[in-house]
Structure formats: structure tokens, C-alpha cells
Structure 1
Amino acid sequence: MKDRRMKFDFTTRFRETWRQAWHSFQNRTTLRKIGYIAVAFIGVSVSGVLILFILTWTGALGHLPDKEELKAVENPLATEVYSADSVLLGRYFIQERSNVNYAALPRHVVDAVIATEDIRFFEHSGIDRKSLLRVMIKSILLQQESSGGGSTLTQQLAKNLYPRRRYWLFSMPINKIREMILAARLEAVYDKEALLALYLNTVPFGDNTYGIEAAAQRFYSVHAAALTVDQAAVLVGMLKATSYYNPRLHPERAVQRRNVVLAQMEKYNKLPHAEAAAAQALPVKLFYNQISHHSGLAPYFREYIREELEEWCKQHTKPNGKSYNLYTDGLKIYTTIDSRLQQYAENAVDHQMAGLQKRFKEHWGSKDPWYNKPAVLENALRRSERYRSLARQGLSQEEIVRAMQEPVLMNVLTEEGEKERVMSPYDSVRHYLRFLQAGMLAMDPRQGAIRVWVGGINHHFFQYDHVRENTRRQIGSTFKPIVYAAALEQGVDPCDFVSAAKTEYTNVEGWKPENTEENYDRKYSLTGGLAYSVNTVSVRVLEKAGIGNTIALAHRMGIESDLPAVPAIALGAANISMIEMVRAYTCFVNNGKTTTPYYITAIHDHTGQSLEVFPTPDKSEQAMSPETAQMMVEMLKHTVNEGTAASLRSRYGIQNDIAGKTGTTQSNADGWFIAMTPRLVIGSWVGADDPRIRFRKTSLGQGARTAMPIVGDFLHQVNNDSRFASISQARFPALYPSLAKKLSCDLYRSDSNMFQRIFGKKNKEEKRAFGEPENEKKKKGGFLKRLFGR
């Protein structure tokens, strides 16, 4: 029994030992297999990386800049537009970017970047070998976007200069290899300070801002050299995730990230503990500057010259044979705009239009200004970008309407400025239809230099320019001076008194011009008819001048728009642009000679080297006689002194030597005022983009109440600036005695006798054909006639 038990134990132990040995053999085989597989995998991966490296190095996977090309690397630089007084008006750019030299960078900006982004920057040669393995595992093998902190500043710079490309499944490893190769080449070409400056000039900071200088100006309205420690930490903190840590969008996150940056600076002995703690305790306070294509002075003007500058760039080449690029070559454009006058003009438009918009809103009350014209809203909806975008997607009308009524978060222009509001695109169109617009232009009448250009009330929300040639509106009574000048050119005596009687012109479909006042019982001299803008008199003056002669004179004065050969042209029925009208008025100040507007004086490259200088235009012709021009200036002085523009002096205290003309079109759709001083001719216009939207009362919508106050406000600011004494104190030349004698007569006379003045005169309406000479009444004698006269 005992022997049998011993035999069983031996057999069991033998079997167990054999089983363990067999399992041990199997485990070693498995491990060996795993080892073989691992070695094979690593071999294939390394071979694959090596192959990708060779293909990338040789340029088989796309052009890779060599050292020579990297030596000439230049950042895309915004083109800058300058005023005549050397003030930066604005920029043209794809990305908002400005360069700053390393020497101009505060030490704490450099320390913040190094401590946070690449503490061994000054030790490695472009690739941080200590982090390379982590980068390979995360980015190359695991195909993760994050590099795990392994990318050096030089590699990030390579990515900024040469953005990543798409390589299907191998995008991440190939791009990482490209960046490492480029980093090594960059380190061989530039020293560390130059690389760091290049990095800080190219890195994105959010809000379409690139480079530390542009970021400092955007978020703090200072140059990079003036950034404080906490401000620098906020900006550097954004580099981890420009949107997530944007202090404008997420101030709480920005505070947390800033404190991390400050802690890193303290950790690596870049900042004493006390200073770090003090900076961490500060709130994030921005001085945000909305830099955009719309920012800066004269945005409508800069947009106007953009097309001309793009054409110039196409026709001119750089030393390397390539054409200039307006958005990347950092050109410097010098213009005739005066920044101080431009600022005063924009101030005047902002101030006056704010008050006018308030009156317009009160005038209509709860009603929409188009309440009886539904087509106005319908047309505006169809013109909106949102509607057109939906239509391009092939949506039905019903689907478009439904989408247009869905509320979204948007930036909206309000009476208090730009605000974020939840509003449907449909309601935003209705909202903007209620806005009145304005345009203003000022030109040197002697040389034609454009000094002021304001195309609208807000370029960010309203890009339509109301100054340029292709924006034409009815010009109302501002055309009358051309009619009167044509009459003088035809030999009409300025002291010939013209009847203001109401007349129906039988050959013009019974057209019956009317006056804004009941002054049909008067006769006006040419000066009086112009000063008081009497419609019936102006039509009769047009008859004396001749429609053909008037149109020909207008064209000689610089008006290129088509002018209808109809009697209503005397009242401003033509559609003409602001720039054409201001140019025409310069003839009066310029002794009858035309003036060619110009606005660009020179173009330089980014180093300041002159590429082209534009001479003052010398094209000039005698549009009218000097005598006619001088008399017109004298006659138009009466408009300001005692006529329709008299409030320019009484309300704004404008004592300048000034002449001008107001204008109001049918149903108050357009209000105009054009003023002339010896040094500036100034035009202003007010109205809605859709002329069907307007004031219902002439007392509110006439040019003297809408457009003229803008000029008054502008001149008031100019007069208070001693630097512009040459404008405010300038005087028109004294009128020759012979011409003064020609104009020496009353502005108007009564066209009735004493009994008619006492007991009232019934104004009989005349009927005759336009252009037909007026029948002279037979002279009647009699006691009363001899006693009282006419």
C-alpha cells in the first residue's frame, strides 16, 4: 500500500514537472514571438520613418526650402497707407502683422516665451533630443496632433513660415519631419536672437493677429516694447490655444493661463517670487483695439484706392522679377489725405448723424419708414449676403425665409456702438434699413488734392461708398450754380430781374415747377434767385442759358455723368456723384479752370526706398471765363450770408470767407451742401441707401438741416485749430470794381403794386411752352402807375 502511494506521488510530481516545463517552453516561445514581432514592428517603423525622411529631405514630397532660400525669408508684411502729414491711416493685409526687432523686445517677453514654450531654446540646435522620443511616440507612432511639448521654438517657427500640408494618412509624421529638417537649417542660418524675433513676429495670437507687436496693439493698444510683465504673460499664455485662452472671449481662462506662465517664469528663475505673486494678483484688463481692414482713418478712401494699387502692383516687379503683392510686401503708400482734417470730418459725421438718426427715429415713431412701401424691405432682404448665400445653396424660397428668421448671435451696430445681440438675419435687415447714411469730401481747389474722404457712417457695417464716381444720387439745387454760370456765359445780366411766377409748361407734359415758399409775386436778380434757391426763377434762367449750353458747361467743369436734356435739370433732376460735384465747384474758386482730383503722391517699398512718385496733375482747361467764376463765388456768398445756408453762420459761428449752395431732392430723399472756401471745397450728402426711405417733412429733410450741419461742425473744429489758420483766415480775392458794379442790385423786388400788396394779389398761373420767349406786357400809363411805379 505504501509502495503504491509512493509510486502515485512520483507519477504526479513527474507529470506536474513536465507540465510546468512544457508551459515554460510555451511561454518562452510566446515571448520570443512577441519579441520578434516587436523587433519587426520597430524595424518597419524606423525604416518607414527613414524612407519618409529621405523623401522629405530630397523634396520628393514637396518643395523644401534650402539654406539659401531661408536666408532671404521674409514675413508677409502689411502695406501701410500714410496721410500727407505722415500719419498711418491703415493697412492692407491678409493677416494683421507688424515686425519688431529683438532689441526692442522687453526681457520679460523673451523670458515668458522661453520659460513656457522651450526652456532649452538657447542650448539645442533646433531639435530637443530629450523630447524627441516623446514626440515620435505621440505624434508619429500614435498619430496624435499634440507633440507632447517636444516641438522647439525653431520647429514652431518652421511651421509658421511654411504651414503644414495634407499627406493623407501620413500628414503628421511627414510634417513633423519637415519641421525638424527646416529647424536644423534655420539654426544654421540665423543666430538665436534672430530666430526668437522671427518666431515672435510670425506666431498667431488669435483674432486674426500675428506677431507680438500686432498682438500688443490689438489687446493693449501699446507697442510690444511697452508691455508689462502680466500683459506679456497673458499674450504668451495664448500661444497654447489662441481661442481657448483669448482674454477678450474667456477672461477667466486667460487669468489661469497667465498665472501658469508667471509660475513657469518663477520656476526657471526668470522672475522673482514677489514679482510673480504681484503679477498673478492683478486682474486681466484689456485696452482692446479693433484692428481690421475697417480700422483706422479714412477706411472708405483706402478701399477706394485698393483696386488702383492692386493694378499698380501687377504692372511693377521686384528685383527678383516677381510682381509686387499689396498684402504681403509691406509697401508704403503716401496720399494727399490730411489726417487732422480727416479726423475732424469723421468726428463731424459721427456727431451730426447721431443726432439726425435720433430725430429720424422720433419722426417715424413706431412706424417703419417703408410702412407703405413693402417692396423696400423685400428688395433689401434679397440683396442681403445671408439671403444670397442661402440661394446659392439651392434652398427654396420657403426654406430661405425660414432660415432668415432663425435667431443667431451677431455683432450689431446700435446707437451706443457695436454690440453682440441675438437677432435673426431678417430682423437685422430691418434694423439696418432704418439708418441714414452720409458722405463727405474735401478737395484743394487749386491743385485737386483730396484732403478728406468720408464715404459713409461706419465702414464695418456699411461698405457702400457715397463719394466715389459710380455712386450717383439726385443732386437737387446744388446744380443750380452751373445753370446760373451758363447764363452768365451767355451774356445774361446778373441784375436782370426774373419773375418767380408759377408757370405750367405745355410742351413738357404740363410740368409745373413750384417753390418751397409762396414767393411767386416777386422778381429776383440772379444773385437773389440763387441765394434763395427759387425753383421757378432757376427754370427761367435755364431758358436764358439754354439746356445744351448748360450741359456742355457741366461737362467742361468735370461732370462725366449723363445729364438729361430736360428742363428739370435746372432743379437738379440729374444723378451725379459727390466727387464730380465737388470737382465742378472747384472751377468757381479756381478762376474758371478745371481741377483734376488726385490722392496718391508716392509709393515706397518696405525699406523706405522710393518706387514711384506721382506728380501733381497738370491737366486743366478753362471751363468758364474768370469773370463768370468770380461773380459766381460772390453770388454764392449770399447763400451763406442771407440765403438758405444762413444758419451756417448763426448756428455754428462760421465767420470764414465762404460761399456755398444747399440742395434738397424730390420728397427729401437727398440733402446736399457744397461749400467753397479759398483753400477747400467741401461737399456733404445725407440720405438713406434706398431713396424711398426719407423724412416726410422738408423742414426736417432739407439739405440745410441734414447735410449742411456736417460742414458746419467740421469747419468749427478746423477754425479752433490754430494749425489751420491758412484755411480759416483765407479770403477770396477782391472782386474787380467792374464786376462788383454788375452785381450791385437788390436780391429781389415785389412784382405787385401798393394796392395788390395791401389787399393781396391773386397769383395767376401762366401757361406757355418751355423755351418760348415770355410775352412782354404792354406798358400802361395812368395816375397810379406814375405815382407809385411798379
Structure 2
Amino acid sequence: MHKIREWFTAMKMERLYSKQQLLVHYFNTVPFGHNCFGIHTAANYYFNKKPAELEVQEMATLIGLLKGTSLYDPERNPSRCIVRRNLVLNNMCREGFLSLDQLHTASNTELVLASQKEQQPQIAPFFMQYISGKVDEIIAAINDKKKVHINPYTDGLRIYTTIDSRVQQHAENALKMHLDSLQKQFDAEWNQARWNQNKETLLQLLKMKKYSAYKKVIFALNNDSAFTPEIELLLEGMKTDLTRLHAGFTCIKNTGEVLAWVGGRDFRYAQYDHVKSTRQVGSVFKPIVYVTAVDQGVNICNYFKNDHRSYSDFDDWEPRNASNNYQGEYTMKGALTYSLNVISVQVLFRAGLLDVLNVANQMGITTNIPQVPSISLGTPDISLYEMVNAYTCFANEGKRVHTKYLKRIFSKDGVLLYLERSKSNKELFTKNVAAIMTNMLESAVNRGTARSLRSNYQLKGAIAGKTGTTQNQSDGWFIGYTPKFSAGAWVGAENPGIHFESISEGAGSKTALPIWANFALNLQNDPDCAHLLEGVFSPPTAKSLRCLNQSLYLERK
């Protein structure tokens, strides 16, 4: 049906425009990478020339980009770009547009790009991309109410956001530093031998990605005789693309202001925002299960059997612990500290599945969550932004704080057009319930799955948080908070089928937690930001503390 619609559209356009007009329109609008749309912008960006001034090899370079702006990016992948450029030149010669001498000269010409002017990098580009939609809505409402015609892009508006440029820079540096190191480790693991062992996985992923040249590559993978230097280069580029690790990080002040928002490694090359995108959350969802149970009065003094059991009402589902250890009994605090899956399921059934879903929604998770008990292990796909928002409820002593992005918008003449109004916070849990949860999550940092914050990174002060690792180590998470802010990190490849082989390398404590840790160290070493790590958490009541301070584990009687 889609192809039929395309055919009708093409027929209609051919009746309205000549092929020359269609080609001109295409070249004036098509993307060439690096946010360049149209041949004029691309010629200026890559070669500092007008289209009419381009030499033939430069024209071929730009045409070659249309096959894949990332795959053949001349700045990031010059060798691959040259192979593609020379293919275009060969086609031009075959069609009679170049002589053999011209082909030889152009093909052997070095790829020379214009030295790009040093530009002031945009602060928090992923955040700016997100709030541009919010600004559009606000200005549209003003235009409608006041019967004016303000253009948010051309009318010189002054827009003040909640982003703190220093905190943002610390977040970007922390993410990039760790991701660069982790990528080297990941590349070493995904060597040729690993690809040879996972040929079927590679074929499936290439089909899913729908690369423009994937049919050629798949044919070559199944027919060794079809391999050519071009196919080999294409395949290597696709493997590099598939094994590229991505990450997201955001920091929200406990009063609601977004201080930092890093949607990926480099906005210039990939604009997909990993703060707002959804991925399987793993164990970072467990605190939502636990707080529901605590709020409903499940006794935190009780011990739960660390049993491997089957649930007949759910197709004999058998949840397992990551460690495959099923000994002894644990308190809720102990089970959350060591992230025991089988006890999380028991806690979910004590709390009630529908009640957990309701609490998750009240805490700010608006993504639809399936009504299945496996959510207690973190099977839902939820965004990093939503999860960090949810954790702010613990940091804010049980209150749901409304997230703030914008402060004020002025016209170019200084007229106030918009002022963010404070909204009242909604109490979801009592102070003591929130304090109990913080005590449990401090234990995860001090002695549990996030203990490397203390042992490896030597971070001091009040910190609570939880790691998360999904099936096959496809996603790594860490969300942590202090008395002043909540922040979270996610790391993973674009496709969950590409992941670290072992949990010792791919756990959230190894992939995501270091970003949070380095961010906190950056704040600690900055006199203007160190105050964000100050303060203490409010303690639970004496009665609650007696239960929380008892042994986390008992030997099975």
C-alpha cells in the first residue's frame, strides 16, 4: 500500500513538474549530513564554495554522501568516502560525462575539505532540540491569545532555560570520557572472530537496519565470490555502526530544574536523544515496586525466602537471580541492596501489580507498562528522563516535583512574553516512607551493586541509588541522588542484540555508573558546583531504623 501511494505521488509530481525541476528541488532540500540541507549549504560546509565552483571530484563526493551521510561522512570516514566518491566518478565515466583521463585525475585527487571555522558549540543541543517544541507551543498560544505573529526562530527572542552551563559541561565531559574508554573495550570484544560466530545475528541486524546497500552485503555474506573491496568497506562501516555504543545522562535538581541533559556522545553526528528514548530499564525499576509495598504497610522487619520458584498462574514463569544463588533469607533492604530478582517478585505480589503500576504513573512514568509480574525485574521500556523524574520523589521526601525547563521568554525589545509559574508539589508518600527507601538505596551504594562509588571512586557524602542491567547486558543503568539533585545514566548499543558477552563487563555498575561517578567527581572538584554534593538525608523514624539496621541476611533454618 505504501508503494502504491508513492507511485501515485510520483505520477502527480511528474505531471506538475519537469524532471529538471524535480531534480533542482531535490538537490535544494536533501540532507548531506552535519545539519546541511541542500547542495548550497553542503558545498559551503565541506568545500567553502558555491555549487558552480565545485570541481568534479568534489561534486562526486557530495553525490556519494546521499547514499549514507554517516557511513560516507568525509570528516569521520575519509577512506570510505573516497571509495564511494570514486564509484560515482566511474559511473560518470561509464555514462560518458568524463573521459578516462579525467576519471584518472579525479580519482587520484586527494580529498581536501575546507577547514571549518571554529564555532562556539551550542550548549545542551539535545535539550534545546527538546524544548524547541515547548517554545513553539508557548509562542503559538501567545499568538492565538494576543492576535500577534511572533516567529520563535526569526524574531530574536531571548529564552532563558534552567540548564546550568557548568553542570552541563561536567555531564558532557563525564559521558564522553567514559564512553570513549568503554568503546575501545567493546570494539576489542566485537572482533572478527565474534562476528564470525554471530553471522546469523549480523544478517538479521543488517536487514533490520535497512541500510541502502544491505542487499548487496547480505548477498556477499552468503556468497564469498561476490565480495569486492567496496562490499568489504561497506560491511566494515556497517559493523562499526552496529557496535557503536550510545549513552544518555540527565541531572534534575530536587526542586525540579533540569540542570544537565546529554542525549548522546556528539549531537553533530547523531541527533537521536537517549534521554527521551525508551529502553528496557532493568533493576532501576525495583525501588518503585518496593516503595509501593512499604507505603502499603508491608513490614520491613520481615525476611523473605530467597527461593527459586515457579508461578503457575503465569505460565509457570520462573524468575532467576543474576547470581543463581538461592540461599538464605533477606529483608527487603537486603534484597534491594543485592538486587535479588526472586524476592522482588514476592514484594510485587505483596504490593499488588495494579498498585505498582498506579504508583509508577504518579511518580511521573507516563509510558505504558504491561500488567505482568516481570515488571518487578525491570522488563518495561521506559525513558531515562522518566526514571530520573521518578527517583526525585525519593529525594524530595515523598513529594512529586514538577520538572522545569524554561524560566522566561522575552521579545527582542525586552517585553516579557512568558514566565514559568511555580506549581505546588504533590505528596505521594509520607516522609518516613521516602526516608526508608533512601536508607535502602544508600545501602545499595555503601555495600551493594553500586558500592564502587565508594570503593573505586572514593565519593563521600550522602548518595543513594540503584544499578540496572537488562537481559544479556543489552542495557546498563544507574540512577542516583543526593539531597540536592537526582541524576541518571544509560548505556547500550542501538540494537539490544549487540552487547557485552559477560555480566562482569556489561553490568550497569561497569557501563553506566562510571558516568554518574565521574560527573559527581567533576562537581566535587569545581568550587562553583561542589555545593550540589552537600547536605544529609532525613533519617527514618527510630522504629523504622531498628528494622533497617537488623541483619540483611539470615541463614536458612
Larger relative contact order (CA 8 Å, sep ≥ 6)? 2
Matched residue, 1:88: none
Deviation at 1:660, TM superposition (A): 0.2
Larger mean Cα displacement after TM superposition, 601-610 or 543-552: 601-610
Q: Deviations over 1:349-368 (max 9, x none)?
A: 10000111111111122246
Matched residue, 2:82: none
Contact 1:495–1:744 (Cα < 8 Å) also in 2: no
Q: Deviations over 1:117-142 (max 9, x none)?
A: xxxxxxxxxxxxxxxxxxxxxxxxxx
1:296 pairs, out of 100, 113, 122, with 122
Larger mean Cα displacement after TM superposition, 677-686 or 557-566: 557-566
Quickly say closer, same or farther: Cα 1:613–1:630, change in 2 above 3 A. same
2:37 and 2:495 mapped to 1: Cα distance?
32
Q: Deviations over 1:364-417 (max 9, x none)?
A: 2224665331344323542x5x579xxxxxxxx779999xx9999xxxxxxxxx
1:644 pairs, out of 434, 449, 456, with 449
SS at match of 2:279: strand
- One-letter amino acid of the structure 2 residue matched with residue 526 of structure 1: M
Q: Deviations over 1:726-748 (max 9, x none)?
A: 21222212333233223221111
Deviation at 1:592, TM superposition (A): 1.1
Residue 337 of structure 1 pairs with residue 163 of structure 2: yes
SS at match of 1:503: coil
Matched residue, 1:668: 473
Quickly say closer, same or farther: Cα 1:399–1:545, change in 2 above 3 A. closer
Matched residue, 1:138: none
Residue 547 of structure 1 pairs with residue 385 of structure 2: no
SS at match of 2:176: helix
1:711 pairs, out of 516, 520, 526, with 516
Residue 467 of structure 1 pairs with residue 295 of structure 2: no
Contact 1:502–1:514 (Cα < 8 Å) also in 2: yes
Residue 494 of structure 1 pairs with residue 323 of structure 2: no
Residue 429 of structure 1 pairs with residue 238 of structure 2: yes
1:726 pairs, out of 531, 536, 546, with 531
Matched residue, 2:185: 359
Matched residue, 2:27: none
SS at match of 2:478: strand
1:675-690 equivalence runs, <5 A: 675-690=480-495
Identity %: 36
2:116 and 2:202 mapped to 1: Cα distance?
44
Contact 2:183–2:244 (Cα < 8 Å) also in 1: yes
1:185-584 equivalence runs, <5 A: 207=44, 288-290=117-119, 295-317=121-143, 323-367=149-193, 371-382=199-210, 384=211, 427-445=236-254, 447-468=255-276, 471-584=277-390
Deviation at 1:478, TM superposition (A): 0.6
1:701 pairs, out of 503, 506, 510, with 506
Contact 2:296–2:351 (Cα < 8 Å) also in 1: yes
Larger mean Cα displacement after TM superposition, 307-316 or 447-456: 307-316
Deviation at 1:655, TM superposition (A): 0.6
1:433 and 1:296 mapped to 2: Cα distance?
27
Quickly say closer, same or farther: Cα 1:676–1:398, change in 2 above 3 A. closer
Quickly say closer, same or farther: Cα 1:371–1:598, change in 2 above 3 A. farther
Deviation at 1:423, TM superposition (A): 9.6
Q: Deviations over 1:485-510 (max 9, x none)?
A: 11111211112111112112222222
SS at match of 2:422: coil
- One-letter amino acid of the structure 2 residue matched with residue 441 of structure 1: T
- One-letter amino acid of the structure 2 residue matched with residue 431 of structure 1: T
1:205 and 1:464 mapped to 2: Cα distance?
21
Contact 1:360–1:695 (Cα < 8 Å) also in 2: yes
- One-letter amino acid of the structure 1 residue matched with residue 483 of structure 2: P
Matched residue, 1:100: none
SS at match of 2:394: helix
Matched residue, 1:615: 421
Contact 2:139–2:150 (Cα < 8 Å) also in 1: yes
Quickly say closer, same or farther: Cα 1:534–1:426, change in 2 above 3 A. same
Deviation at 1:301, TM superposition (A): 0.9
SS at match of 1:723: coil
Deviation at 1:313, TM superposition (A): 3.5
Q: Deviations over 1:281-301 (max 9, x none)?
A: xxxx9783156xxx4221111
Matched residue, 1:250: none
2:145 and 2:349 mapped to 1: Cα distance?
62
- One-letter amino acid of the structure 2 residue matched with residue 372 of structure 1: E
SS at match of 2:206: helix
Deviation at 1:314, TM superposition (A): 3.4
Quickly say closer, same or farther: Cα 1:423–1:656, change in 2 above 3 A. farther
Matched residue, 1:599: 405
Larger Rg: 1
Cα RMSD, aligned residues only: 3.5
2:217 and 2:491 mapped to 1: Cα distance?
37
Deviation at 1:654, TM superposition (A): 0.8
Contact 2:36–2:42 (Cα < 8 Å) also in 1: no
Q: Deviations over 1:127-185 (max 9, x none)?
A: xxxxxxxxxxxxxxxxxxxxxxxxxxxxxxxxxxxxxxxxxxxxxxxxxxxxxxxxxxx
Deviation at 1:635, TM superposition (A): 0.9
Q: How many residues get paired?
A: 458
Quickly say closer, same or farther: Cα 1:556–1:380, change in 2 above 3 A. same
Deviation at 1:680, TM superposition (A): 0.7
1:659 and 1:610 mapped to 2: Cα distance?
40
SS at match of 1:652: coil
Deviation at 1:463, TM superposition (A): 1.8
2:512 and 2:242 mapped to 1: Cα distance?
19
1:97-112 equivalence runs, <5 A: none
Quickly say closer, same or farther: Cα 1:286–1:563, change in 2 above 3 A. closer
2:37 and 2:242 mapped to 1: Cα distance?
31
- One-letter amino acid of the structure 2 residue matched with residue 603 of structure 1: I
- Per the normalisation by structure 1, the TM-score is 0.53
- One-letter amino acid of the structure 1 residue matched with residue 374 of structure 2: A
Contact 1:653–1:716 (Cα < 8 Å) also in 2: no
2:290 and 2:359 mapped to 1: Cα distance?
11
Unpaired runs of at least 5, structure 1: 1-91, 96-203, 210-218, 220-234, 247-284, 389-396, 409-421, 752-789
- One-letter amino acid of the structure 2 residue matched with residue 451 of structure 1: L
Quickly say closer, same or farther: Cα 1:399–1:589, change in 2 above 3 A. closer
Quickly say closer, same or farther: Cα 1:435–1:622, change in 2 above 3 A. same
Unpaired runs of at least 5, structure 2: 1-34, 59-113, 221-226
